[in-house]
C-alpha cells in the first residue's frame, strides 16, 4: 500500500513539475526595447520591467527599434511570438511612434494601425493569452509656457478606441507619461531622457538631446508606471510581482 502511495506521488510530481512559467511578451518599438551596449545609456522600459516579477514569470521583450505595427508584422517579428504563445501568457502591445510619422518607411495609416492592433489582440486571444494595449509613451515636448504638449494625440486615441471596441485592458502611457513630465517640469524632465553633454558619455562623443528615448531613470520610471497600471487593472499578473524576502 505504501508503495502505491509512493508511485502515485511520483506520478503526481511528474505532472506538477516543472511549474509552467507564464510568459509576458512585450511587443513594440525603441521606447520598450532592449538596447545594445553601444547605445547605452539609452534604455527601453522593458529592461527594468523584466525584474519586477517573481520566478514564475518570464518577460520576453521582443520590442524592436523603429518598428510600427506594420513593419513588426511584415518583418516576421510577430509570427514567432504567436507560435510560442501559451494559454495564460500576457502580450503587452505598445506601438505608435513609428506608425504615425508619414515620412517614415514604417508609416501606417490610421485604418491599418487599428486593423493591426486588432490582429495582435485577436491572435493573442486565439491562443488564450491576455493582450494589453498601451498608448505610445509620451515624448517630452513643452510649450513656451512650460505646459506639456501631446505628440501622439491621434494615434493614442486610436489605441483607446481599439481597447474599448474589443474590450482590452488599456494602459494609457501617453497620458501618464505627460503627467510625470509635467510634474517634473521642462528642465528636470530631461533627466528621464537621453540627454548628454558632449564628452560626457563615451557612446555619444558629440552629446545628445533626445526627447523620445529614455535614460536609465526614465525607463525605470515608465516601467514603474506600467506596473502601477497593472495593479490598477487588477490583472492576475499582480499575484506574481516580485516580493523581497521578509527581513
Catalog residues that contact other proteins under the rule CB under 8 A. 37-38, 40-41, 48, 51-52, 188, 191, 199-203, 205, 215-217, 220, 224, 227, 241-244
Tell the smallest beta-carbon distance from residue 27 to other proteins (Å).
23
Tell the smallest beta-carbon distance from residue 199 to other proteins (Å).
8
Query: Phi, psi (5° rounding) for residue 91?
Result: -130, 110
Greatest distance between any 2 Cα atoms in the chain: 82
74 or 188: whose CB is closer to other proteins? 188
Q: Are strands 208-214 and 170-171 parallel, antiparallel or unpaired?
A: unpaired
123 or 211: whose CB is closer to other proteins? 211
119 or 201: whose CB is closer to other proteins? 201
Grid cell listed for 51: 525584474
Tell the smallest beta-carbon distance from residue 226 to other proteins (Å).
12
> How far is the C-alpha of 227 from the C-alpha of 49, rounded, in Å?
8
Count of C-beta atoms within a 10 Å radius of residue 144 = 6
9 or 228: whose CB is closer to other proteins? 228
Tell the smallest beta-carbon distance from residue 216 to other proteins (Å).
4
> How far is the C-alpha of 216 from the C-alpha of 114, rounded, in Å?
31
CB 182 within 8 A of CB 7: no
E-only strand ranges, the chain: 22-28, 57-61, 90-94, 130-134, 170-171, 193-196, 208-214
Tell the smallest beta-carbon distance from residue 29 to other proteins (Å).
22
Taking only Cα atoms into account, the Rg of the chain, rounded to an integer number of angstroms, comes to: 20
2 or 38: whose CB is closer to other proteins? 38
162 or 227: whose CB is closer to other proteins? 227
Tell the smallest beta-carbon distance from residue 58 to other proteins (Å).
14
Amino acid at each position: 500500500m505504501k508503495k502505491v502511495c509512493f508511485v502515485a506521488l511520483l506520478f503526481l510530481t511528474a505532472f506538477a513539475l516543472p511549474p509552467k512559467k507564464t510568459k509576458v511578451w512585450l511587443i513594440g518599438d525603441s521606447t520598450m526595447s532592449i538596447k545594445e551596449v553601444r547605445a547605452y545609456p539609452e534604455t527601453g522600459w522593458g529592461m527594468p520591467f523584466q525584474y519586477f516579477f517573481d520566478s514564475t514569470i518570464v518577460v520576453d521583450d521582443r520590442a524592436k527599434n523603429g518598428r510600427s505595427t506594420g513593419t513588426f508584422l511584415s518583418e516576421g517579428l510577430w509570427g514567432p511570438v504567436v507560435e510560442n504563445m501559451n494559454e495564460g501568457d500576457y502580450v503587452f502591445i505598445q506601438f505608435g511612434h513609428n506608425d504615425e510619422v508619414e515620412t517614415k518607411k514604417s508609416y501606417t495609416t490610421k485604418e491599418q494601425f487599428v486593423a493591426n492592433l486588432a490582429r495582435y489582440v485577436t491572435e493573442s486571444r486565439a491562443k488564450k493569452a491576455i493582450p494589453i494595449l498601451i498608448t505610445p509613451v509620451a515624448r517630452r515636448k513643452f510649450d513656451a509656457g512650460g505646459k506639456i504638449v501631446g505628440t501622439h494625440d491621434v494615434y493614442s486615441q486610436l489605441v483607446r478606441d481599439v481597447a474599448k471596441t474589443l474590450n482590452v485592458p488599456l494602459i494609457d502611457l501617453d497620458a501618464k507619461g505627460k503627467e510625470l513630465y509635467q510634474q517634473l517640469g521642462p528642465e528636470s524632465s530631461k533627466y528621464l531622457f537621453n540627454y548628454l553633454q558632449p564628452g560626457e558619455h563615451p557612446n555619444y562623443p558629440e552629446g545628445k538631446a533626445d526627447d523620445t528615448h529614455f535614460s536609465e531613470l526614465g525607463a525605470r520610471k515608465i516601467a514603474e508606471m506600467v506596473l502601477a497600471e497593472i495593479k490598477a487593472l487588477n490583472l492576475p499578473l499582480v499575484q506574481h510581482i516580485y516580493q523581497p524576502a521578509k527581513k
